[in-house]
Amino acid sequence: MKRIFEVDPWKVISHELKPEDKRLQESMTSIGNEYMGMRGMFEEKYSGDTHKGIYLGGVWFPDKTVVGWWKNGYPHYFGKVINAVDFVSVDIKVNGESIDLAKDSYSDYEVSLDMKKGILTRSYVVDKNGAKVKVTSTRFVSIAFKELYANKLTFENLGSEPVTLEVDSVIDADVYNEDANYDEQFWNVLSKQVSAKDGRLVAQTIPNNFGTPQFTTEMAMHHVTDMEAKGLGKEEDKQVVNTFAKELAANEKVAFEKRVIVTTSRDYADEKDLDEATSKLLDSQAEKTFSELLTAHEEAWDKRWEKADVKIEGSDEAQQGIRFNLFQLFSTYYGDDARLNIGPKGFTGEKYGGATYWDTEAFAVPLYLALADKEVTHNLLEYRHNQLPGAYHNAQEQGLKGALYPMVTFNGIECHNEWEITFEEIHRNGTIAYAIYNYTRYTGDEEYVTHDGFDVLTGIARFWADRVHYSQRKGLYMIHGVTGPNEYENNVNNNWYTNMLAKWCLNYTNEIADKVSDEKLAELGLTEEERNKWHEIADNMYLPEDKELGIFVQHDTFLDKDLTPVADIPADQLPLNQNWSWDKILRSPYIKQGDVMQGIWYFIDKFPEDVKKRNFEFYEPLTVHESSLSPSVHAIIAADLHKEDKAVEMYSRTARLDLDNYNNDTNDGLHITSMTGSWLAIVQGFAGMRVIDDELQFSPFVPKDWEGYNFRINFRDRLLEVTVNKEGSSIKLLKGDDLTIKLNGESLTLTTEK
Amino acid sequence: MKRIFEVDPWKVISHELKPEDKRLQESMTSIGNEYMGMRGMFEEKYSGDTHKGIYLGGVWFPDKTVVGWWKNGYPHYFGKVINAVDFVSVDIKVNGESIDLAKDSYSDYEVSLDMKKGILTRSYVVDKNGAKVKVTSTRFVSIAFKELYANKLTFENLGSEPVTLEVDSVIDADVYNEDANYDEQFWNVLSKQVSAKDGRLVAQTIPNNFGTPQFTTEMAMHHVTDMEAKGLGKEEDKQVVNTFAKELAANEKVAFEKRVIVTTSRDYADEKDLDEATSKLLDSQAEKTFSELLTAHEEAWDKRWEKADVKIEGSDEAQQGIRFNLFQLFSTYYGDDARLNIGPKGFTGEKYGGATYWDTEAFAVPLYLALADKEVTHNLLEYRHNQLPGAYHNAQEQGLKGALYPMVTFNGIECHNEWEITFEEIHRNGTIAYAIYNYTRYTGDEEYVTHDGFDVLTGIARFWADRVHYSQRKGLYMIHGVTGPNEYENNVNNNWYTNMLAKWCLNYTNEIADKVSDEKLAELGLTEEERNKWHEIADNMYLPEDKELGIFVQHDTFLDKDLTPVADIPADQLPLNQNWSWDKILRSPYIKQGDVMQGIWYFIDKFPEDVKKRNFEFYEPLTVHESSLSPSVHAIIAADLHKEDKAVEMYSRTARLDLDNYNNDTNDGLHITSMTGSWLAIVQGFAGMRVIDDELQFSPFVPKDWEGYNFRINFRDRLLEVTVNKEGSSIKLLKGDDLTIKLNGESLTLTTEK
């Protein structure tokens, strides 16, 4: 654990800059608007350790696969989110010398991310050979104007002598990825334009051998300032530069605004279209003041918070934690573009390639369903529908029928190349189907599941029907050679979770097939015979259970292991993944993230309490929660079982994962998809929210150390506010038609206050 | 299958040179003397596709590991056999233009590897702009003088005009490996010396970060010829060159000998020692003629063949096959140096790194025991004893006690980095112990097993004792997370073969412990308590069996698979490893190489016939034999079960693997360690040779298509000759004291013919 920011309900704020924590500070102060985003690196020069990272949603490169030993079926490339052309950097010179806080003396340092408004500000007073200048920076990527990045710098001469100030503002394509397989650069410059106050650069990703699109991006900078433009701008090899200067008298202050319009070939067909669009977009901001642009952005954030805020009384730390998580999630994805998804590091780092994982469907969908309009989740589902051809391709690569959604992807084609994950962690396919079910259950809207959703379900059902095999000896269908959600075991047989989900998928698809049109069935070529086969497989699917222990068995031979609980592992051997060999981990009974528990969570209202209890009490003591996705699921199930202390313990491991750098890796970027965990733990866990038979239900409790909490929920065109405190719980309908819900088992009809 | 050589009992001979088969021809005409060796590439220039490969036994480089995804415990480097400084190349110019058979017209081409004498000859008539020159080349690496490479070229002017002939003879360190992780060059030149007729070059391997030794090598060339030395020799950046020239009148002929002395820092401490040794070695050949040097070499080969030849009547193809295999095996290893071992490609290619695999102990030890003096096998065993510290290191890297012999190594430290192989294919440890048992059983000499051998056995037993776990549920010891000899399944539990071998190792080590000195026990810190634990584990080791089928079960859940036999796989899907995804292979029941069968082979006289029969008939139909190590084991067991046709079928898949390029990969190099298979199939299979209770036994048959066969066996200071033909079998004692053996179950006392 390492906490480098102060505790504050709405801000991530620090008054210190430790060089060894620079990357951590950058990760934590990332901003984004789904369309683009960036880490909190400085605009000005910094010669110390830093990770300059700017990313454009959906812009990536297929980097040729690196393996030690090739296996048939491995994908040929790993998709990488690529570091965009740098439009942020500004070199600030005081009396001819660049500010560089890695070397300069400075004081009054503050960095502050305002989560309510979505603005990053920073200020300090630098002492350059006796010249004291106060520098402030305010920057945002507008959620009201997606192509716009705006940065306002102010410089104030605090000394008694005049100071010459010079600013070089650049657009620079000479950038590298920290995570590139061959240390290659991904951008070629196509064209440059520069004038005294403006500059433009068009760059294209380098060609690739895999038939995936090359991306073109145009960056256009415009400056608003009282500083004087020096010269007519400069073109260097891979950059354009505008230079401004001013002599500041003692106590004089000057402002400098850099506004950048970013467009890409994702939205515009060719360079000409890009150029025209860029010009139009430049025009549309030209007449507006920084403050007007900022206000539009803040108002948009207000709307988001109005629907989604969670208030916690009695724990400022928890308050800051939940808001930070929601802020970063919304900065990464807010459903504006069905071609985008939620990368595990969002716009905050390069690790994991920035692509789509099953985390989205498993952990993000339930949150977006409740916190945003249903179109947001609908777009997440459409993303997978659009990538169905890729999923068919992936199955075919394995010699299998149907559709296999990828472990990691940008375009539907599998990117990952560990056989035990790529080929075996096929339970992901079940979660893609589950998300459709979840959406349908929450919204009550069957339109999706009976149309596009049914294409997806059918592809998935066909995959399962081919992936199972019939065991003559047992007289049952089995699924061999899988990795369950617990990635600390590989290549197991009959993983209960996977088999259960496969069976459920076959049944659910058959159930929906009864509701879809004949045209749809015909279009998919779905026959009675095929549906009967699905029934037969589902009816005869082997689900390992242990009668004596009364539990579901994680996989065939799990109970043969040495089942010593985690509590008996010496503390200095934890986390296992940093202390044990992979061999020892694999053979151990220790669970990285819930496996049987993941399945119980998905269908939490379908299992009897004693079954849930026996399984939880058997598996949780064997679980090391070394995936950031694990504790929240356990918090919810613990709360469901009235194990309130356990639920709170689990919650505490997810709420401030990045704020307190629990895993000691937040310097690489934030754990975006895990950020849903704290919200899930509060809403589904502490407040016990469920949707059962079209009805919203709650059974809340307040953690001992809290006074209370309050959150808002969006449910079938209503906005509800749930307040829970020591005195009890109350639910208000803020917007929408009357609604009957259950609170602690009792029906309650809610009406808006007139 | 592709046969590019003619069938001949003692020769590998061809009169064709197809550019597309050049690499295959080079592999097939490799020569070696354990100390060094080379592929059959031309001495002269060849601008077509070729693989110039010259290798020095035990000279290697630790190439930094490449992986897609790192796992804790992976080794940091992969050891690579490196392409030596090129001492073979000779540029031959006719009237100023280099001979290059990729471009020139030529006729009367012949290449011939004489396996009886260990000589590679080649001849052709080249037509260079009307000048016709006959070129012949004879080369060998002497097995009577290990540091000596000799090459005699003759040039004969067949035209009517005089021809100017010029030869540039080089030592050249500007070489690459085809198989290098980072395309790096491995040699730095330390010094060069050159005079008119001689040249020397000292080179050192580039530094590495892994603490493994850098190797220095000195190459010294000396020329014997009537051609005139031109100039004083040349030093180029990374090479030294001697140039010779002569004008040949019509029908005139001239000879050119290049002799090279190769020394390395493996034998000499520093550059000064190297240089002195090289000078001495140069002197010791200087007075000898080519023919004298050659005779010594041929005589040494004669001695080898006298002990080891196998004669087959009625099948020239089989005859050529078995001799080719023995020739290449002996060229790779003949036990002169206990620091060396048998790389899977010997000196014929770079694939697999050229290091030591468990193939040596499993498949080569039984052959060398019978075909060479016992010191040869003793040296192979000492190799592992010397590397015991590395084996302890490997176990420790996995967090385990005792010694884990590596999958791939040069120095005892594990090199391979696939978790399912590196961490899991631990049965190799059992084979290291088995080889000690095999040596002791065959030689009757307990000296090794009670001294150095016991160090190895103890390390291995300690590993097994820590690697098992106790299953409370079953009340037995288990071994989870292994890969058996069948590499088409990974991460299985309770692989019968592995568990059986582990149990055997513990018992055997305990048995030997009774025979070793108290000093040895004290030195190893072996207590009664530890030995009792070994007993307890061995007595309670779980060995999966199926009572109903009466078979050993390959691993816990094998019988749950879809057990469709190989015969039902459509032919166009074979071999599976070229047609199926890894996922499909893993989940299939198809066995790459015998697994249960490997264990039955090891203890073939310990299992009742009905047990062997049921297991063979169950597993063989599921075996695809896609490892070149598989068929021979099945040939032996089939023969043991009187399934003569099956035995012959299996034999035919191993005997001419490279000669007929069955696997379509011989262009990369020969399958050296698999070459033992055909000998094993004949001797242990067709002739039924066993050593049971100190007694040699035979129960021979003749394959239908053969007339008969004859082989020699070295057994406890005797030399025996076994002749088997349609009339029956006879066994002669050629050398040594009287010996009682069993032939077809009957005792027979053999005496040498006086």
- What's the CA gap between A547 and A478, in Å, rounded? 19
Tell me how close the Cα of B408 comes to any Cα of chain A, in angstroms.
Answer: 14
Contact map slice: B 474-493 vs A, CB within 8 A: 474, 478, 480-481, 490-491, 493
For all residues of chain A together, what is the average pLDDT? 96
SS3 B550: coil
Q: How far is B418 from chain A (nearest CA, A)?
A: 7
Chain A hits for B574, CB-CB cut-off 8 Å, are: none
Name the residue among A69, A398, A583 with its Cβ closest to that of B398.
A583
- Inter-chain touch B72–A585, beta carbons under 8 Å: yes
Contacts of B578 in chain A (CB under 8 A): 72
Q: CB–CB of A65 and B68 under 8 A?
A: yes
Residue A353: pLDDT over 80: no
Q: How confident is the model at residue A180 (pLDDT cuts 50, 70, 90)?
A: confident
**Token code pair at residue A359:** 């985390």
- In angstroms, the CA A38 to CA B104 distance is 63
**pLDDT score, position A36:** 98
A70 touches chain B (CB under 8 A): no
Q: How many CA atoms lie within 13 A of A62 on its CB side?
A: 18
Chain B partners within 8 Å of A420 (Cβ): 420, 491
Count of residues making up chain A: 754
A447 is catalytic: no
Q: Which residues of B touch A424 (CB under 8 A)?
A: 583
Give the model confidence (pLDDT) of A156-167 as tens digits: 999 999 999 999
Residue of B nearest to A426 (CA): B583
Q: With a CB-CB cutoff of 8 Å, which residues 639-668 of chain B face chain A?
A: none
Chain A interface includes B749 (CB < 8 A): no
Q: B130, exposed or middle or buried, with CB in 10 Å at 0-12, 13-18, 19+?
A: exposed
B67 contacts chain A (CB < 8 A): yes
- What would the pLDDT profile of A480-511 be if each residue is shown by its tens digit? 999 999 999 999 999 999 999 999 999 999 99
Report CB contact under 8 Å: A471, B560.
Answer: yes
The answer to whether the Cβ–Cβ distance between A581 and B473 falls below 8 Å is no
Per-residue pLDDT tens digits for A389-421 = 999 999 999 999 999 999 999 999 999 999 999
Query: A726-735 b/e with 16+ CB inside 10 Å = b?
Result: eeebebebee
Disruptive mutation site among A587, A588, A592, A618 for chain B (greatest number of B CBs within 10 Å): A587
Provide the pLDDT for residue B754. 67
* Nearest alpha carbon to residue B377 among B394, B386, B364: B364
Contacts of B586 in chain A (CB under 8 A): 419, 423, 481, 491
Residue A183: its pLDDT value, please? 86
What pLDDT was estimated at residue A687? Answer: 98
**Mutate: best of A77, A560, A579, partner B, most B CBs <10 A:** A560
- The verdict on whether residue A593 carries a ligand-binding annotation is yes
Q: Determine the average pLDDT of the residues in A38-50.
A: 98
Minimal CA separation from B660 to chain A, in Å? 26
Cα torsion A628, A631, A632, A637: sign: positive
Give the residue from A581, A584, A618, A626 with the most B CB atoms within 10 Å of its CB, the best one to mutate: A581
Is the separation of the CB atoms in A702 and A726 below 8 Å?
yes
Out of A487, A489, A620, A626, the active site residue is A487
Interchain proximity A72–B471, CB inside 8 Å: no
Q: What is the pLDDT of residues A184-214, one digit of tens each?
A: 899 999 999 999 999 999 999 999 999 999 9
Write out residues 394-413 of B within 8 Å (CB-CB) of A: 397-400
Q: Look at residue A243 in the predicted model and tell me its pLDDT.
A: 98
* Residue of chain B whose Cα is closest to the Cα of A573: B399
Please choose, from the candidates B134, B14, B24, the residue with its C-alpha nearest in 3D space to the C-alpha of residue B664: B24
**Angstrom distance (rounded) from CA B686 to CA B612:** 17
Q: What is the average per-residue pLDDT within A3-17?
A: 96
What pLDDT was estimated at residue A263?
Answer: 98
* CB-CB under 8 Å, B71 with A66: no
Average the pLDDT over A709-727 and give the result. 97
B556 in contact with chain A, both atoms CB, cutoff 8 A: yes
Residue ranges of chain B with pLDDT lower than 50? none
Domains of chain B: 1-7+311-359+625-754 (2.60.420.10), 33-65+74-306 (2.70.98.40), 373-561+578-621 (1.50.10.10)
pLDDT digits (tens, 9 = 90+) for A537-573: 999 999 999 999 999 999 999 999 999 999 999 999 9
Query: Which tokens sit at B1?
Result: 């299958």
The answer to whether A340 touches A34, Cβ cutoff 8 Å, is: yes
Given phi > 0 = left and psi -120 to 50 = alpha, else beta, which region is B129? left
pLDDT exceeds cutoff 70 at A754: no
Q: Which residue of A has its CA nearest to B493?
A: A557
Catalytic residues of B: 487
Percent share of chain A, pLDDT over 70: 100
| Contacting residues of B for A481, CB less than 8 Å apart | 583, 586-587
Give the angle subtended at the CA of A405 by the CAs of A399 and A410, to the nearest 5°: 115
Q: Which residues of A touch B470 (CB under 8 A)?
A: 562
pLDDT of the residue at A245: 98
- Closest in B423, B474, B557 to A582, CB measured: B423
Interval A714-739 mean pLDDT:
97
Of B458, B455, B453, B466, give the one whose Cα is nearest residue B426. Answer: B466
Q: Is B562's CB within 8 Å of A470's CB?
A: yes
Chain-chain contact of B480 with A587 (C-beta, under 8 angstroms): yes
Q: What is the pLDDT of residues A602-631, one digit of tens each?
A: 999 999 999 999 999 999 999 999 998 899
Pairing outcome for strands B739-743 and B695-698? parallel
Q: Which residue has the tokens 């290893």?
A: B333
Query: What are the φ/ψ torsions at residue B93 (nearest 5 degrees)?
Result: -110, 130
Q: What is the pLDDT of residue B653?
A: 86
Identify the closest residue of chain B to A77 by CA–CA distance.
B68
Interface test with A, best of B72, B418, B592 (most A CBs within 10 A): B72
> What pLDDT digit, counting tens, does each position of B555-570 carry?
999 999 999 999 999 9
Q: Measured between alpha carbons, how far is B684 from B591 in angstroms, rounded to an integer?
A: 23
Residues recorded for chain B: 754
Q: What is the pLDDT of residues A325-338, one digit of tens each?
A: 999 999 999 999 99
- Suggest the residue from A569, A582, A584, A622 to mutate for an interface test with chain B (most B CBs closer than 10 A): A582
Question: CB–CB of B654/B632 below 8 Å?
Answer: yes
Binned at pLDDT 50, 70 and 90, residue A425 comes out as very high
Of the partner residues A68, A577, A580, the one whose CB lies closest to the CB of residue B66: A68
Q: What is the dihedral of CA A540, A542, A543, A545, to 10 degrees?
A: 120
Alpha-carbon Rg for chain A, nearest whole angstrom, is 27
| A466 in reach of chain B (CB within 8 A) | no
Binned at pLDDT 50, 70 and 90, residue A653 comes out as: confident
Shortest Cα distance, chain A CAs vs residue B640, angstroms: 31
Residue A540 in contact with partner chain B when CB distance is under 8 A: no
Enumerate the known binding-site residues of B: 358-359, 592-593
3-state helix, strand, coil in chain A (%, to 5): 35, 25, 40
**CB spacing of B587 vs A398 below 8 angstroms:** no
CB contact under 8 A, B68 and A418: yes
- B582 to A473: CB separation less than 8 angstroms, yes or no: no
By C-alpha distance, the chain B residue nearest A396 is B581
Answer yes or no: is pLDDT of A39 > 90: yes
B341 contacts B60 by C-beta, under 8 angstroms: no
CB pairs A-B closer than 8 Å: 137
